[in-house]
Amino acid sequence: MKAIFKIIFKGIGILLTFFILYFIAEFCLSRISVNDKNITKNDVTIYLTTNGAHTDLVLPVDNDIKDWNTEFKIADKSFRYISFGWGHKKFFLETPTWADLKISTAITAAFGMDKNSLMKIELLANVPVYKKTVPIQLSVVQYQQLVSHLRSYFVLDGKGDIIPVEDKLGAYGKDVQFYESQGRYHMFNTCNTWTNNMLKKVKLKACAWTAFSSGMFYIYE
């Protein structure tokens, strides 16, 4: 019996050590910025937003470079902006609040035990003021690259169309839509890691690595 308890306590100790190192590494790396010396033209403005936990990139619905109506068929022309976020399917669809979080969902997501990820799209009339928001300037080339990277995450059907996923709980409202996505979510590739990587891919200022939202806003202060 003592041997069993010894194994259990040793396992708990290893797990605690792992998570302590994880949070230390996340804090340190998320405060190190990359691409911060790059000079970019102010051709297009996008926005980085967060609700405190999840980050999104907000882009214009339509400009001279890209019209997102091609993919999303936006009938209401009062929507001038569209936000893009990526994350774990069960977190998005089954966990509208932290009170709804199941241990099984947290473990599955943290350790990447499935391939279920989604793109979350929200249509906006204006840049959100109810969330923490910072503007980011891009050149035309950077914006074209960003659009290409965003589009690459959508899974397409046999006709080349994006694949919608129903929000059965209806927790997000009619202006939020979900679509099948590429990529595997895990603790080293979270929704905020994805947003940060989108910025890095187009040579915009970003964290060396981050799992949470705070790092990105720290380096943009």
pLDDT of residue 130: 77
Closest among 119, 123, 132 to 60, alpha carbons compared: 123
Band of residue 120 on the pLDDT scale cut at 50, 70, 90: very high
Closest among 215, 164, 212, 200 to 36, alpha carbons compared: 200
Rounded mean pLDDT, 123-147: 93
Hey, where are the domains in the chain? Answer: 31-219
CB-based contacts of 24, cutoff 8 Å, min separation 6: none
Note the pTM of the prediction, 2 decimals. 0.91
Rounded mean pLDDT, 133-151: 96
pLDDT of residue 44: 96
The token pair at 92 is: 């998005």
CA–CA dist 113, 77 (Å, integer):
40
Band of residue 98 on the pLDDT scale cut at 50, 70, 90: low
Rounded mean pLDDT, 36-65: 91
pLDDT of residue 56: 96
| Count of other CB atoms within 10 angstroms of residue 214 | 19
pLDDT of residue 128: 87
30 or 14, higher pLDDT: 30
Q: Over the stretch 51-90, which tens digit does the pLDDT of each residue have?
A: 888 899 999 999 999 999 989 988 888 999 999 999 999 8
Closest among 32, 149, 156 to 86, alpha carbons compared: 149
Band of residue 162 on the pLDDT scale cut at 50, 70, 90: very high
pLDDT at 201 over 80: yes
Rounded mean pLDDT, 124-143: 92
